[in-house]
Structure 1
Amino acid sequence: MPADLGDLLRLKKDQVGPAAEMLARAFDQDPKMDYFAPDDGTRGTIARHHFEFLLRYGLIYGEVYATSPRLEGVAVWLPAKKVEITLWRAFRAGLFRFRKGVGKEAMERIISFSEYVDGLHRRHMPGPHHYLFFIGVDPTFQGKGHASRLIRPMLDRLDREGLPCHLVTQNEQNVALYEHYGFRVIEHTVVPGTEVGNWAMVWEGGKNPGSATQ
């Protein structure tokens, strides 16, 4: 199992609930969440169940790091072969509880959205790599360097291992943030059936002038 990254903490199962609450706040204005839950009155509940499921998935199939026990920020990283959430993997991560928590309509939106993103991932990144599944920082603590603490140690490790990193974001404001760490946009699309933009990005380590090791 990979070693912990510096002073970051590996998230524990009993922290999933509080971490999901924080992520629901962090993604409250995210275009993707606005599409999943257009009703302001239900968005918080749907987002919490959504992130609980994704965090459980990350604990099983990848690495989940937090900045501290206060959970100022959380990041989930997945190896290439575990990025696609198959039915069996979803079942292990709590599919039935997830579906009950978000409801039928939101679940259908989430599934169709995920299938599109998975298709892009397979096309763009067929070889070995790592995937930044998602990162979120509590709005109270944004702008204080917590995103950097979560991103740079992993990119340094991937640089040593010679692996590229892939991510997607649906928030145009995040593109410049990721470019700051050396990611570059490889495709910008609009998710079919929605008005949500999708930016696919890749980081290539020492090949990129913005490498975290420089």
Structure 2
Amino acid sequence: MVMKQNEILRLSQDYDINQAVEVLARAFKNDSLYKYLIPEEEKRHKILPYFFKFRIRYVMLYGETYATSPRMEGLAIWIPYKNINISSWRVLKCGGVSLFLKAGKDVMGRLSNLEEYASQIHKKHADFPHWHLSPIAVDPTFQGKGFARTLLNNMLERIDKEKVPCFLETQSENNVSIYKRYGFKVVEEGKIPNTNIIHWAMMRDAIE
């Protein structure tokens, strides 16, 4: 089931998430971050759906997920500040055991390395009420057609009315320039430990 909010659709908790999972897996299958987490291509294609199923389950309970339409051209996942920290109970509730079993110790170790690094930066720059965009994606078939812009503009308009900032992370220099057009500023740039992957943390200030 989807609930319409202006031009985009919010996915509700009783929605079949498989289509959304497939869109995210296709969008990130060649992403540098997921290549680091799961270096083997065949294994990555098998495991990514489990990553994103966990993510969407979590956000269904503790955040908000939006799609451009029932066709799922694009998706944006937003988490409020109060629910950014994932407790052990929440991990279990959202299928974390299944993810661990499917991904394996090595992949989960690299994920832990990433999350520890990212969470430190996040807390350093945004330890106050805000929205976290994590992630936004467009199905490769529909990229370059303005779907990401639709998702961003809709939520940012609401966030401006709420007068709160928002935070995001990216490992793409091209994305940095795109997000700057929407008012985001780089607050920290660095390398993920034990990798050559550059990690940008970006913040968009609240509208006064």
Q: Same fold (TM over 0.5)?
A: yes
Report the CA distance between 1:139 and its aligned residue.
0.5
Q: 1:4 to 1:80 in 2, by over 3 A?
A: farther
Report the CA distance between 1:4 and its aligned residue.
5.2
2:7–2:154 Cα contact (<8 Å) kept: no
1:155–1:205 Cα contact (<8 Å) kept: no
Q: Which residue of 2 aligns with 1:110?
A: 111
CA distance in 2 between partners of 1:24 and 1:132 (Å): 17
Report the CA distance between 1:56 and its aligned residue.
0.7
Residue identity opposite 2:90 in structure 1: R
Q: Which residue of 2 aligns with 1:92?
A: 93
Q: Which residue of 2 aligns with 1:7?
A: 7
2:78–2:134 Cα contact (<8 Å) kept: yes
Answer yes or no: is 1:194 the counterpart of 2:195: yes
Gaps of 5+ in 1: 208-214
CA distance in 2 between partners of 1:21 and 1:114 (Å): 23
Report the CA distance between 1:15 and its aligned residue.
3.1
CA distance in 2 between partners of 1:182 and 1:44 (Å): 34
Q: Which runs of 4+ in 1 moved over 4 A?
A: none
CA distance in 2 between partners of 1:32 and 1:77 (Å): 19
2:190–2:200 Cα contact (<8 Å) kept: yes
Q: How does 1:154-193 map to 2 (within 5 A)?
A: 154-193=155-194
Q: Which residue of 1 aligns with 2:23?
A: 22
Report the CA distance between 1:46 and its aligned residue.
1.7
Deviations 1:39-77 (A, max 9, x none): 111111121111111111111100011111111111110
CA distance in 1 between partners of 2:6 and 2:102 (Å): 35
Look up the SS of the partner of 1:136 in the other structure. strand
Look up the SS of the partner of 1:135 in the other structure. strand
Q: Which residue of 1 aligns with 2:32?
A: 31
Q: Which residue of 2 aligns with 1:131?
A: 132
Deviations 1:63-103 (A, max 9, x none): 01111111111111011111122212211111111112222
Q: Which residue of 1 aligns with 2:154?
A: 153
Gaps of 5+ in 2: none
TM-score normalized by structure 1? 0.91
Residue identity opposite 1:176 in structure 2: S
Residues paired across the two proteins, number? 205
Seq. identity, %: 41
Q: State the Cα RMSD in Å.
A: 1.5
Residue identity opposite 2:68 in structure 1: T
Q: Which residue of 2 aligns with 1:122?
A: 123
TM-score normalized by structure 2? 0.93
Residue identity opposite 1:71 in structure 2: M
Q: Which residue of 1 aligns with 2:71?
A: 70
Q: How does 1:202-213 map to 2 (within 5 A)?
A: 202-206=203-207
Report the CA distance between 1:104 and its aligned residue.
1.8
Q: Which residue of 2 aligns with 1:210?
A: none
1:72–1:137 Cα contact (<8 Å) kept: yes
CA distance in 1 between partners of 2:22 and 2:101 (Å): 18
Range with bigger deviation, 8-17 or 28-37: 8-17
